Copies of this chain bind each other. A is one copy, B any other.
Amino acid sequence: MGELTLIERLRELIGPPGPGTIMGLGDDAAILEPKAGLTVLTCDAFVEGVHFRRDYDALDGIGWKCMVANLSDVAAMGGFPSQAVVSVCVGSGVSEGDVLELYRGMLRAARKYGAEIVGGDVVSSDDGLIVSIALLGVVDADRVVTRRGAVPGDALVVTGELGGSEAGLAALMAKLPVEGEVGAAVRRHLAPVPRIAEAQALIDVGTPHAMIDLSDGLSTDATHLAEESRVGISVREDLLPISAHAAAVSDALGLDPVELALRSGEEFEILVALPASEVERSIEHLAAITGTRLTMIGQVVEKGRGSVVVGSDGSGRPLRRTGYEHALGRER
Contact = CB atoms under 8 A, between A and B. Distances in A.
Given A38-B34, A124-B328, A43 B134 contact: yes
Most buried by B among A4, A39, A122, A135: A39
Contacts of A35: 34
A3 B43 contact: no
B139 A31 contact: yes
A127 B128 CA distance: 9
Interface string A136-156: 110100001011100000000
A29 interface: yes
A77 B31 contact: yes
A18 to B, nearest CB: 14
Quickly give the copy total for this chain.
Answer: 2
A120 B2 CA distance: 30
Contact of A27 (B37, B147, B321): B147
A234 interface: no
Contact of A45 (B72, B132, B330): B132
A147 B45 CA distance: 29
A157 interface: no
A212 interface: yes
A41 B32 contact: yes
Contacts of A86: 43
A6 interface: yes
Most buried by B among A37, A79, A90, A124: A124
Most buried by B among A29, A32, A39: A29
A266 interface: no
A42 interface: yes
Interface residues of A, number: 79
Given A41-B136, A45-B123, A47-B123, A77 B212 contact: no
A23 interface: yes
Most buried by B among A30, A42, A123, A147: A123
A207 interface: no
A55 interface: no
Nearest to A47: B125
Contacts of A37: 34
B39 A119 contact: no
B4 A321 contact: yes
A85 B41 contact: yes
A214 B147 CA distance: 42
Given A125-B47, A128-B126, A30 B34 contact: no
A44 interface: yes
A39 B32 contact: yes
A305 to B, nearest CB: 21
Interface in A197-218: 211-213
**Nearest 5 A-B pairs (CB), nearest first?**
A134-B134, A127-B127, A29-B42, A132-B132, A45-B87
